Amino acid sequence: MLSKIIIFILIIAIIYFFIIPKFRGKKPRNDGDNFVECSKCDTFVELKDSVIKDGKYICKECLK
């Protein structure tokens, strides 16, 4: 009786850890969370709102 319960728990664990995660979608990657420091004004801006000039990140406000 005890061995049947252990086998049942192992089967449920295998299904839970190996089969179910494959059906869940992967989380979309959020590139907006990447921040860099502006080399001129020392503020942190999103990577998409910055420009690389002379190998350093510069925010769009400092380019004006």
Domains of the chain: which residue ranges? 2-63
Quote the DSSP letter at residue 63.
H
Choose among 51, 17, 14: nearest CA to 36: 51
pLDDT of residue 23: 64
pLDDT of residue 57: 92
If DSSP codes are grouped into helix, strand and coil, which group holds residue 15?
Answer: helix
Cα distance between residue 43 and residue 61, in whole Å: 11
> Over its length of 64 residues, how does the chain's per-residue pLDDT go in tens digits?
889 999 999 999 988 887 766 666 656 566 557 899 999 999 999 888 889 988 899 998 888 7
pLDDT of residue 6: 94
* Torsional class of 4: left (φ above 0), alpha (ψ -120 to 50), beta (otherwise): alpha
pLDDT of residue 8: 95
